[in-house]
A and B are shown apart, each in its own frame.
Chain A
């Protein structure tokens, strides 16, 4: 199959891009390995400024918009596993085939983010889930992950999903901490985890709003967190148990319990251990962008902590270091769906200019960049408190690459 643009990923970013490209009259292939379009929007549902953020509804609106453009071909249930230069642009390999290769003059990579796992003893037992899996089960398919579960790992995603689970009638033994580990850098020490909780902002996940500002002082934070009651402190209905860590999952054929321990007041040594009965365990080490296709296409990438991981160095139009290869959405930094949508629009405008041979001078992207910034400010969730710094860092890397020979 030959098209002008291939969009990889039909989450909010890819759908927004495909909608704009369809409106501009391009022949587009919109590819996604999931059977339903919408990406991670499908499971999102929470209260926000007295409204309900209904991701399923948002996804339907985006999908309907794309459907009106008949030049957009839907290729669902197909994974893109290779991306190579071809004489006229790019060749994308699909599995399963039919078509097995899509040729495109330009490509928009909108493959989103993935969850960072937290290794625990026995964590391969059925019933141990990434927290996002529990979200998909409950919100998309109406399947309860279990009767009573526990969430290991505190971050914006786990708070938002814990709230969703409670609302769906699933019981939780609370959010407990991951065993502190210097070896697993995403987790870090207990105080690293506390600092991240204190730094959180956002509607779904807003813990410790009032106390939060005092907790930036290390000793206040450490004192309050380590002296919290064993049963935890309620945050929007969810019990955060900041001085309780998960040490192992229990069960033989499937999860039957969780081994927990309380840490001592002034150091991180374990004081007492006990078991609590649960039939599922959600682990949550946060989100990171999916870098796979960028690596395959040998795109220049950089590690930007505020964007949650390895991201492509892109121009303000979303073009990577490989001409004709654009990147949008969570694949270029973990942010909310509103930001992903705005980035999808920008990427589509960049591709349009590229295909029409118009200038891709980065200064011309200002209005679109401004819309992304607005979306960022309006977002119900911020996945990193210093996201702005990450965006600036990426921009600086791009400007630097302009100067490079």
Chain B
């Protein structure tokens, strides 16, 4: 569980189908930020870009589709080899505003 002291293991994961490097176990949002990806999704109503805000699971600004599940907090979700994440736009089921 506590892998902070182990040697970091570099893995590859996919955001919107594109490969990105990450350190195994760190939150998805951290790997993306390190690669310069600061927009994690777009507001469902206005379409404005949204990104990491609190980094500790409180604000839900970092919602992404991860492992096939919508609205996962990318600041908490640990990255791993082959993980697929997607940036969200309009929620399915709600349709266009």
Interface residues of A (CB under 8 A from B): 33-37, 40, 56, 60, 63, 74, 76-77, 79, 114-115, 117, 124-130, 132-133, 136-137, 140-141, 143, 145, 253-254, 290
1/0 per residue, CB under 8 A from A, across B41-72: the answer is: 00100001111111111110100000000000
Contacts of B25 in A (CB 8 A): 35
B30/A141 in contact, CB under 8 A: yes
Interface residues in B14-48 by Cβ distance below 8 A to A read 23, 25-27, 30, 33-34, 38-40, 43, 48
**B83 in the interface, Cβ–Cβ < 8 Å?**
no
Nearest first, the 3 A-B pairs at minimum CB distance are A126-B51, A133-B55, A126-B38
Nearest-Cβ distance from residue A65 to partner chain B, whole angstroms = 13
**B92 in the interface, Cβ–Cβ < 8 Å?**
no
Cα(A117)–Cα(B75), bound, Å: 18
Beyond A35-B1, A129-B52, A130-B54, 13 extra complex contacts between A and B, CB < 8 Å: A34-B56, A35-B76, A36-B1, A37-B1, A40-B56, A60-B2, A77-B76, A117-B59, A126-B52, A132-B56, A133-B56, A133-B75, A136-B56
Cα(A133)–Cα(B62), bound, Å: 12
Give how many B residues have a beta carbon under 8 Å from the other chain's beta carbons: 32
Chain A residue at minimum C-beta to C-beta distance from B33: A143
A253/B55 in contact, CB under 8 A: no
* 20 sample A-B contacts, Cβ–Cβ < 8 Å, listed by A number: A35-B25, A35-B76, A56-B4, A63-B2, A76-B1, A114-B56, A117-B59, A124-B43, A124-B48, A124-B61, A126-B51, A127-B51, A132-B55, A137-B30, A141-B30, A143-B30, A143-B34, A253-B39, A253-B49, A254-B39
B55/A127 in contact, CB under 8 A: no
Interface residues of B (CB under 8 A from A): 1-5, 23, 25-27, 30, 33-34, 38-40, 43, 48-59, 61, 75-76, 78
Cα(A40)–Cα(B38), bound, Å: 23
Nearest-Cβ distance from residue B7 to partner chain A, whole angstroms = 14
Chain A residue at minimum C-beta to C-beta distance from B73: A33
Contacts of A143 in B (CB 8 A): 30, 33-34
Contacts of B40 in A (CB 8 A): 126
Cα(A32)–Cα(B26), bound, Å: 16
B57/A125 in contact, CB under 8 A: no
